[in-house]
Chain A
Amino acid sequence: MKLEFMSGNMAIAEGAITAGMRFFAGYPITPASDIMEYLAEVLPEKGGLVVQYEDEIASINAALGASWAGVKSMTATSGPGFSLMVEALSLAAITETPVVVADIMRAGPSTGVPTKTSQSDVFQVRYAPHGEHLIPALAPWSVQEAYDLTIKAFNISELVRTPVILLSDAVVAHMWESAIIKDVNEVEIVNRKKPSTPPNEYMPYKPDEDLIPPMANFGEGYKVLVESLAHDERGYYRQSNDVYRKLIWRLINKVKRHIDKIYDYETYYLNNETEYLIISYGSTARSALAAVRDLRRKGVKVGMFRPKTLWPTKEEVIKEVTKDVKKVFVVENNTGKMVAEFERYIKKAEVVSIPILSLDIPTPEEILEVVSSWL
């Protein structure tokens, strides 16, 4: 364990190394490029490989290939690059391939303001990939959390056999803070479940009780079939409602079944006297918390809820933290997106969307001003 002064992107790279990532495939894009640059310097010394591909499509597909070869792999990009990766994310979902994709959000659409921050990809990571899937997404708010959540992202992807999105942004990416970097034996590392059956009995998509099939990799003596068509437990394409329903519901339910391992959040000043609740996430939550403190100094009974996991939402948690409050403010650096997701579960309290578009993060004063007008 050591304390290091580093940027959020360096923390993602370090977190990935701690988690055991040994293959990074990438393509340059601001503000994510320095993850690849940092790894290009340090990963070869760890016996890992960094390859820069010809585009984002090749990068994520290479990462999927490496995962099937038995190596923990990742790629990193920003909004426009993520758009090119979404086809492969659907592929990763149906083939149940563990992989981590870091999306360092910048102000879009398109080239937008490429060096500045935004939280406008929160729906893209959930809904852009085609077909049915439930791909988890984690959003760090600090350099320390960029490190911790990267490890968590790998653990989830290995445990549940799913792609996981690490949804950082330009502010967290290029902010420098102290962070505690741990050794491998000081942190819980999850590795994919291996088959215990002999090779001739192995079925690549036959789940255990936990809905997750053990994963044999190429070259381990098992028949490995990576099938993008809707498949049965053997991995063979079957055009039938039974097979399709069983497969899709298992892909969704295996994530929901492990929600306690996936969902993470933090609350601030939340007790049974809290009247107002601010919900905020990622870099914007830093300003939101400052605004909460200012309001409390003025005597307003306000608390804060900060989800670290943006997708999927744990319904019970949202219901629990909002059960006694009158009003909920959802503060985010976009035109008001995650508010729709929270609103689905908040039945009693009034929900107010506070969308503050800001190329840097919204300032505490801006948040204070808008929230105060709704009190």
Chain B
Amino acid sequence: MSRPLTIRDLPREERFAPGHRMCQGCGAAILMRHITKAVPKDTIITQATGCVEVTTTLYPETAWKHPWIHVAFENAAAVASGVEAALKALKRKGVIPESKDVKVLSMGGDGGTFDIGIQALSGMLERGHDVLYIVYDNEAYMNTGIQRSGATPFGAWTTTTPVGKVWRGEWRRKKDIISIALAHRVPYVATVNPAFLPDLYEKIRKALSIKGPKLIHAFSPCVPGWRYEPELTIAIAKMAVFTGVWVNYEVENGEFRVTTPVPKRKPVEEYLKLQGRFRHLTAQEISEIQKYVDEQVEHINKLAGKVVIGPVER
């Protein structure tokens, strides 16, 4: 098939039921809707504590049509390891046929992945379980009320990195979870963005076709946490890509490929000015963020071996 996939090619069947309590315009809700379209019907999902978990499973209701298990905050990857090992054992003992291919999907937010869950994630990647782990990254602990996490970007306001005389929002840079995963020599890692759904769909399908541990890092705008109007979710997700703040790429068996090239970048303030969490930033702080993004783009271009993300055009 040479024609590129479009949104019309995605499955029509909805496996993420409506009626959940996620916010209007929630980035993670869009992600969950399309992730569940991309994974087979009998995929077993393990989910860490977080926004998605609490808002989709208010007793006695559930938004999940897949087999789904919520565990504690820190151990979604460990439970996925156990589920995958159990499937192997059941096949070995002939309880389920060898030919039956049940996928295991594990999901967590940035807090449950970058911070408290990283030990379990590292163990799962190291042991080589055949599990796809997807982290939906809304760049703070949104479920408990917007506290910073290891994924909070430089300059962002959160309730535990407030803006005042002494502090100016988060003063550390975001943790590079992709490099951490790659350090485990896993066969596939990728980044996805809710504004680029066919790309997201293809990456999940590809990840599931590869045996071994896989990690997908998903950009997940958060209306209350990032302080913007609900209709701007996709605009912000797009602008993240157009400014180079977020780059859609994949690394398959060490081979690096940018899936959304950006020949001409927009200045980073185009992305920052859409969000209230950055509204305190001074011109100097914005230029510092621009410098960080430039560094990241340079690194990406180096990995790609050519200029896939172009220079800033004002």
Contacts and interface: CB of A to CB of B under 8 A. Distances in A.
Interface of A: 26-30, 33-34, 36-37, 40-41, 44-45, 50, 52, 54-56, 80, 84, 110-111, 114
Contact of B160 (A29, A40, A54, A56): A40
Given A28-B144, A110-B72, A54 B159 contact: no
Main secondary structure on B side of the interface with A: loop
Contacts of B166: 44-45
Interface of B: 49, 54, 70, 72-74, 111, 114-116, 118, 141, 143-145, 147-148, 150, 159-162, 164-167
Given A40-B159, A40-B160, A50-B160, A33 B147 contact: yes
Nearest to A39: B160
A54 B150 contact: yes
A33 B144 CA distance: 7
A40 to B, nearest CB: 5
B145 A33 contact: yes
Given A28-B147, A52-B148, A40 B49 contact: no
A41 B162 contact: yes
A54 B147 contact: no
Given A44-B167, A45-B165, A55-B74, A34 B145 contact: yes
B141 A28 contact: yes
B118 A29 contact: no
A292 B145 CA distance: 38
Contacts of A52: 147-148, 160
Contacts, number: 60
B148 A80 contact: no
Contacts of B165: 45
Given A27-B116, A54-B115, A54-B116, A37 B147 contact: yes
A28 B145 contact: yes
Nearest to A43: B166
Contacts of A110: 72
Contacts of A29: 144
* 5 pairs of A and B residues whose beta carbons are closest in the complex: A54-B115, A55-B116, A28-B147, A28-B144, A44-B166
A337 to B, nearest CB: 23
Contacts of A50: 160
Contact of A28 (B70, B111, B162, B167): B111
Contacts of B161: 40
A55 B117 CA distance: 9
Nearest to B148: A52
Contacts of A28: 111, 141, 144-145, 147, 160
Contacts of A84: 74
Contacts of B150: 54
A144 B70 CA distance: 38
B274 to A, nearest CB: 25
Q: Choose among B74, B145, B147, B164 the residue with the greatest number of A CB atoms under 10 Å from its CB.
A: B147
21 contacts: A27-B116, A28-B144, A30-B143, A33-B141, A36-B147, A36-B160, A37-B160, A40-B159, A44-B166, A45-B166, A50-B160, A52-B147, A52-B160, A54-B115, A54-B116, A54-B150, A55-B115, A110-B72, A111-B49, A111-B70, A111-B72
A269 B166 CA distance: 51
A34 B164 CA distance: 17
